């Protein structure tokens, strides 16, 4: 009888929001994540933005130094987030001037989307930008996806509404200010990629979340927010073969304990943003 060829079992790790800020604590958390990724034997790693905290070249150099074992072997794909655009705007060059580009590796096909905009050069204007042209470019990129690959859309900002994580975010939502909102065309993007890809992976919000959307085509779409991998000290690991996800993703923990950085890195800027917005509204 003929021998059936089986596609190899592969793994994909999803990290986000490292916020490397040149502090020993930041470096230690990133190093611990790298060690956990290497121990997991992940075939490929995606990092969905906010690699740096203030968009400086020195912060980016630290990222490159720490994650060199993955970068040097072509096992890491990353996109910019809003924190990569202020300062020296290191994230502005990562997509070669494109809003959408594709990356293909054994068993996986990524549609990388730059959801940042020039307004993100302002540290407090953190909301994303998504145009109809970008959505259509994502659709065109999915047309070229191999049938036997796991297909994922990578974007930094959240595409669907998520619970607010702090009082400033709740107030901003009630006031209709943009920085706490999902992408304006996020739901449109999700509707257009349903049935055509397996995963939408993003970051931005620092608490992880998952949404599963069934489709009439029998290809469910799963939307995952990684949260801040350095804050959480963990990341998701997906198993896949022959273009299909296998089972549920597993959390992999680093040896570095969770660090309560969110308050220092999100709340104070958000409060300053609120003061600015209130001042504009009053005067």
Instruction: Give the largest CA-CA distance in the chain.
Output: 81
- Please check whether residue 195 lies inside any domain of the structure: yes
What is the b/e burial string over 136-145, where b = at least 16 CB atoms within 10 angstroms of the residue's CB? ebbeebbeeb
d(CA 257, CA 86): 29
Q: What is the CATH number of the domain that holds 256?
A: 3.60.21.10
- Please check whether residue 3 lies inside any domain of the structure: no
Residue 161's domain spans which residues? 10-282
Query: Which residue matches tokens 């999803």?
Result: 14
Question: Is 179 in contact with 125 (CB distance < 8 Å)?
Answer: yes
pLDDT reported for residue 5: 52
pLDDT reported for residue 220: 93
pLDDT reported for residue 165: 84
Closest C-alpha among 72, 90, 68 to residue 81: 90
- Please check whether residue 220 lies inside any domain of the structure: yes
Number of domains in the chain: 1
- Please check whether residue 1 lies inside any domain of the structure: no
Q: What is the pLDDT along the chain (283 residues), one digit of tens a residue?
A: 554 556 799 999 999 999 999 999 999 999 999 999 999 999 999 999 999 999 999 999 999 999 999 999 999 999 999 999 999 999 999 999 999 999 999 999 999 999 999 999 998 899 999 999 999 999 999 999 999 999 999 999 999 999 888 888 888 888 888 878 999 999 999 999 999 999 999 999 999 999 999 866 678 999 999 999 999 999 999 999 999 999 999 999 998 655 554 443 444 444 444 444 443 332 2
- Please check whether residue 5 lies inside any domain of the structure: no
- Please check whether residue 230 lies inside any domain of the structure: yes
- Please check whether residue 2 lies inside any domain of the structure: no
- Please check whether residue 187 lies inside any domain of the structure: yes
The token duo for 265 is 């890195």
pLDDT reported for residue 283: 26
Q: What is the DSSP string of 111-177?
A: EEE----GGGGSTT-------HHHHHHHHHHHHT--TTSEEEEE-SS-SS-----SHHHHHHHHHT-
Distance in Å from the first CA to the final CA of the chain: 81
pLDDT reported for residue 124: 84
């Amino acid at each position: 009888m003929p021998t059936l060829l089986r596609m190899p079992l592969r793994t994909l790790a999803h990290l986000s929001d490292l916020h490397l800020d040149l502090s020993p604590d930041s470096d230690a958390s990133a190093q611990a994540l790298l060690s956990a990724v290497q121990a997991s034997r992940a075939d490929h790693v995606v990092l969905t933005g906010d690699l740096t905290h203030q968009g400086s070249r020195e912060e980016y150099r630290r990222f490159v130094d720490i994650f060199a074992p993955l970068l040097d072997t072509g096992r890491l794909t990353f996109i910019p987030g809003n924190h990569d655009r202020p300062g020296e705007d290191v994230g502005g060059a990562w997509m070669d001037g494109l809003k959408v580009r594709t990356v293909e590796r054994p068993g996986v096909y990524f549609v990388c989307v730059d959801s940042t905009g020039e307004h993100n050069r302002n540290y407090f204007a953190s909301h994303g930008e998504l145009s109809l042209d970008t959505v259509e470019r994502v659709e065109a990129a999915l047309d070229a996806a191999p049938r036997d690959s796991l297909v994922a859309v990578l974007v930094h900002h959240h595409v669907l509404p998520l619970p607010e994580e702090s009082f400033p975010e709740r107030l901003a939502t009630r006031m209709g200010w943009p920085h706490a909102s999902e992408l304006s065309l996020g739901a449109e993007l999700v509707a257009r990629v349903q049935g055509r890809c397996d995963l939408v992976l993003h970051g931005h919000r620092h608490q992880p979340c998952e949404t599963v959307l069934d489709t009439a085509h029998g290809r469910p779409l799963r939307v995952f927010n990684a949260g801040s991998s350095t804050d959480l000290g963990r990341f998701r690991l997906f198993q896949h073969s022959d273009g299909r996800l296998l089972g549920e993703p597993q959390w992999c923990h680093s040896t570095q304990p969770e660090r309560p950085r969110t308050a220092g890195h999100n709340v104070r800027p958000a409060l300053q943003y609120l003061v600015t917005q209130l001042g504009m509204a009053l005067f």
